[in-house]
Amino acid sequence: VNGEVFMHPLETRDVSAASIIRECSTNGNGVHTDDGVGVWLDTPMIELKGGEGTIEKRIPAMMRMFGKYGIDIRKEPILVYPTLHYQNGGLDIKADGMTEVENLYVAGEAVGGIHGRNRLMGNSLLDVIVFGRNAGKNASEKSKSVDVADLTLSHVDSFEAEIKDAGIETEVVSPKLLPDYTRKVNNK
């Protein structure tokens, strides 16, 4: 809000997020709007430093996305605040992609430990493409030696019985891991 730089622009994601949160909460700075608090990301500085045309060349999708809302990020800064973008932690897997549960293979963001404490930018493709392929190939191979019992929907009956016993009335038809997210629509 004071036009001051409070972090190095090339910091890692966790440091960037923590710096912005600290700036807005602990230090009491930040730009307050009807939709919440944020800080200015100085996008015009990219053009000043890299030369005219840098934004269109390097981050065209972002330029188009903000352009849809009448914001030219080459000319004006954008208001940002950290949000959940990646879950850095999840199930343990062995080298073949199997979890502690026999015959349950997992890949992608549901797996933990691949990136250590901090994932590098653009690197979740590793989870999906490398570990996904690995888990898929190994699961397919393993399936040749696994006898599958008769498939039933008894787990759905058990879920409904548990919900009823707990006295919960719900429209949800299956167990859910994630909360209901709502998209805030700006009608202005």
Ligand X SMILES: Cc1cc2nc3c(=O)[nH]c(=O)nc-3n(C[C@H](O)[C@H](O)[C@H](O)COP(=O)(O)OP(=O)(O)OC[C@H]3O[C@@H](n4cnc5c(N)ncnc54)[C@H](O)[C@@H]3O)c2cc1C
Nearest-5° angle of CA 47, CA 42, CA 22?
155
Hey, what are 160's tokens?
């409904």
**Binding window for ligand X (CB under 6 A); candidates: 59-67, 118-126, 138-146, 149-157:** 118-126
How far apart are alpha carbons 51 and 40 in whole angstroms? 20
**Binding window for ligand X (CB under 6 A); candidates: 49-57, 89-97, 108-116, 147-155:** 108-116
Cβ-based nearer residue to ligand X, 27 or 162: 162
Does 118 participate in binding ligand X (rule CB under 6 A)?
Answer: no
Does 125 participate in binding ligand X (rule CB under 6 A)?
Answer: yes
Task: Look up 13 and say whether it is catalytic.
Answer: yes
| The dihedral sign for the CA sequence 180, 113, 18, 186 | negative
Q: How would you class 63 by CB atoms within 10 Å of its CB: exposed for 0-12, middle for 13-18, buried for 19 or more?
A: middle
The single residue among 86, 137, 156, 172 that binds ligand X, judged by CB under 6 A, is 86
The single residue among 27, 118, 123, 158 that binds ligand X, judged by CB under 6 A, is 123
The single residue among 12, 54, 88, 124 that binds ligand X, judged by CB under 6 A, is 124
Q: Where are the beta strands (DSSP E) in the chain?
A: 31-33, 36-41, 78-80
The single residue among 28, 51, 122, 179 that binds ligand X, judged by CB under 6 A, is 122
Q: Where are the beta strands (DSSP E) in 21-166?
A: 31-33, 36-41, 78-80
| # of chain residues touching ligand X (CB under 6 A) | 10
Question: What positions carry a catalytic annotation?
Answer: 13
Q: Which residues bind ligand X (CB under 6 A)?
A: 85-86, 108-110, 122-125, 128
